[in-house]
């Protein structure tokens, strides 16, 4: 993984993304703890708050891809970072003024979600132009490793910050991280390649091209359904995870942060080993292995106060390892396969499908947790996620060792 160390512009993108990933991991924990401990949100309200952060992928995911294909990618990323700095920065300001409410948390997470849609679509579409197709697996591996390192350190740091300075002020760290990312992206020197001319004057027609490209390709279609199934049921479980750890397992914020970090540890190892595993057993089989490890979360719902931290950490570790192994290989395949003029719409279509189900799952998890208890939400989420691999097995990829080259 040494070659991209010498690529200055990739290092700028990588560094900025790493800092913002650490900040985002802090906010994921800190905002939920603010809702649960400071504002006394119900289980359903916690699930709805998680849904609000992802609702934008469902509402504007498809047009965002068409818009990004029309625009220069780097300015979109910079504006998105600055907007998230302002949105998250409003939380500690409101807290210090004595006016922080649950409604503000919903508004901030929703607005930040809209900006994240544009950043993510632009970022995944920009990477092939920045580093070239031949370096995509390496680039995605590096980005996934540092994302998972953030998953290791971010929740633990969030737990400590919440205990020491309080949740609202901990969110200020995330706000600052987006400022760092904006500066780093602005420092990239390589000019973007020329944008392809618009194929159609109408936005609806351009969106339809992205949909046809994804759902007309049997392997892309299977990847979309696999990831969507995993995210739908996984978000059910994640929506109530902190409620479960606080109110059922009775863990402190600091221990909760450490437990949640275990997924990041697994993700780091999955990212470091993704290329080697794909070479040894094949990129298609590595993708199967990654998604099959979702089944490890089945050990979590049976946790008790005496073993809850260990079981939750173990299940999260294997899930994190598998998730990164799966994503490095399937995302690199998608980026190699797609024509540059369609990258924004392809990525947006995939995000619409696979992230658009997350708010639905989060709301369902909150509703199930409120009606039947958080254990039931965890059981349903873990069981559903473990079945996601079935879409890949039923596709042409089920008989392949490696992804096709074209």
CATH 1.10.3720.10 fits 3-188+202-399, yes or no: no
Instruction: Tell me the per-residue pLDDT of 313-346, one tens digit each, with 9 for 90 and over.
Output: 898 899 889 988 998 888 888 888 888 788 888 8
**Whether pLDDT at 229 is above 90:** yes
Q: If pLDDT is split at 50, 70 and 90, which confidence band does 117 have?
A: confident
How far is it, in rounded angstroms, from Cα 351 to Cα 363? 18
Task: Taking each helix axis as running N to C, give the angle between helix 218-243 and helix 343-372, from 0 to 180 degrees, rounded to the nearest 10.
Answer: 40
Per the CB < 8 A criterion, the answer to whether 385 and 294 are in contact is yes
What is the pLDDT at residue 398? Answer: 86
* pLDDT score, position 168: 82
**What does the DSSP assignment read for 300-343?**
STT--TTTHHHHHHHHHHHHHHHHHHHHHHHHHHHHHHS-GGGH
274 vs 153 pLDDT, higher one: 274
Q: What is the pLDDT of residue 201?
A: 62
pLDDT confidence band for 196 (50 / 70 / 90): low
Q: Which tokens in the block code for residue 112?
A: 């930040």
Q: Bigger pLDDT: 282 or 132? A: 282
CB 254 within 8 A of CB 386: no
What are the tens digits of pLDDT across the range 48-62? 887 787 788 778 878
Measure Cα distances from 371 to 43, 44, 109, 248, 296 in Å.
10, 9, 25, 15, 25
**Which among 130, 144, 69 is positioned nearest to 347, based on CA atoms?**
69
Tokens 């008790």 correspond to what residue? 304
pLDDT at 80 (0 to 100): 93
**For residue 186, with 0-12 CB atoms within 10 Å meaning exposed, 13-18 middle and 19 or more buried, which class applies?**
middle
DSSP-derived 3-state class of residue 98:
coil
Spatial separation of the C-alpha atoms in residues 99 and 106, rounded to whole Å: 14
Q: Is the pLDDT of residue 228 over 90?
A: yes
Confidence (pLDDT) at 245:
86
Instruction: Kindly indicate the confidence band of residue 199, based on its pLDDT and cuts at 50, 70 and 90.
Output: low
- C-alpha 232: how far from chain center: 13
Tokens describing residue 402: 């490696």
Q: How far apart are CA 356 and CA 353, in angstroms?
A: 5
- What is the model's pLDDT at position 78? 94
CB atoms within 10 A of CB 63: 17
Structure tokens at 28: 């994921």
Q: What pLDDT does 289 receive?
A: 93
Report the percent of the chain where pLDDT is more than 90: 25
Residue entry with tokens 């990477």: 127
Q: What is the gyration radius of the CA atoms in the chain, in angstroms?
A: 20
Q: Chain-wide mean pLDDT for the chain? A: 85
Residue, of 286 and 123, whose pLDDT is higher: 286
| Highest averaged pLDDT of the listed ranges 30-39, 60-69, 174-183, 268-277 | 174-183
Instruction: Considering only residues 5 and 98, tell me which one the structure prediction assigns the higher pLDDT.
Output: 98
Averaged over 198-215, what is the pLDDT? 79
- Determine the pLDDT at residue 1: 45
Residue 63 is predicted with a pLDDT of 84
How many C-beta atoms surround the C-beta of residue 265 within 10 A?
Answer: 18
- How high is the pLDDT of residue 151? 66
Q: What is the DSSP string of 29-63?
A: HHHHHIIIIIS---HHHHHHHHHHHHHHHHHHHHH
Q: CA-to-CA distance for 324 and 339, rounded, in angstroms?
A: 24
Cα 370 to the center of its chain, rounded Å? 25
Per-residue pLDDT at 194 exceeds 70: no
pLDDT at 152: 67
| Share of the chain residues as helix, strand and coil, in percent rounded to the nearest 5 | 85, 0, 15
Residue 399 has pLDDT above 50, yes or no: yes
Dump the DSSP string for 257-282: HHHHHHHHHHHHHHHHHHHHHHHHH-
């Amino acid at each position: 993984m040494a070659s991209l160390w010498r690529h200055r512009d990739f290092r700028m993108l990588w560094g900025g993304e790493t800092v913002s990933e650490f900040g985002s991991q802090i906010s994921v924990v800190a905002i939920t703890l603010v809702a649960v401990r400071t504002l006394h949100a119900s289980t359903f309200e916690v699930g709805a708050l998680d849904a609000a952060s992802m609702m934008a992928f469902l509402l504007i995911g498809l047009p965002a891809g068409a818009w990004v294909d029309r625009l220069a990618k780097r300015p979109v990323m910079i504006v998105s970072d600055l907007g998230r700095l302002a949105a998250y920065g409003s939380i500690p300001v409101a807290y210090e003024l004595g006016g922080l409410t649950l409604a503000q948390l919903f508004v901030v997470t929703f607005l930040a979600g809209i900006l994240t849609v544009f950043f993510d679509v632009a970022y995944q579409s920009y990477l092939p132009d920045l580093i070239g197709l031949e370096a995509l697996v390496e680039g995605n591996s590096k980005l996934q490793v540092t994302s998972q390192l953030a998953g290791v350190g971010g929740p633990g740091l969030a737990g400590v910050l919440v205990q020491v300075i309080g949740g609202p002020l901990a969110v200020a760290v995330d706000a600052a991280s987006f400022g760092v990312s904006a500066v780093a992206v602005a420092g990239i020197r390589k000019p973007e390649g020329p944008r392809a001319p618009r194929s159609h004057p109408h936005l609806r027609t351009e969106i339809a091209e992205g949909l046809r490209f994804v759902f007309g390709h049997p392997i892309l279609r299977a990847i979309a359904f696999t990831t969507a199934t995993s995210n739908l049921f996984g978000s059910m479980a994640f929506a109530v995870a902190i409620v479960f750890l606080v109110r059922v397992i009775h863990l402190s914020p600091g221990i909760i942060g450490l437990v949640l970090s275990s997924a990041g540890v697994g993700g780091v190892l999955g990212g470091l080993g993704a290329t080697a595993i794909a070479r040894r057993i094949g990129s298609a089989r590595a993708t199967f292995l990654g998604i099959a490890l979702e089944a490890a979360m089945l050990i979590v719902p049976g946790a008790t106060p005496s073993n809850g931290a260990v079981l939750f950490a173990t299940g999260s570790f294997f899930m994190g390892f598998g998730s990164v192994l799966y994503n490095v290989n399937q995302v690199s395949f998608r980026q190699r396969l797609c024509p540059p003029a369609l990258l924004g719409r392809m990525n947006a279509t995939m995000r619409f499908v696979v992230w658009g189900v997350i708010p639905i799952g989060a709301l369902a998890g909150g509703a199930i947790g409120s009606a039947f208890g958080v254990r039931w939400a965890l059981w349903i989420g873990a069981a559903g996620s473990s079945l996601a691999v079935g879409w890949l097995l039923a596709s042409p990829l089920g008989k392949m060792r490696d992804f096709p080259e074209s």
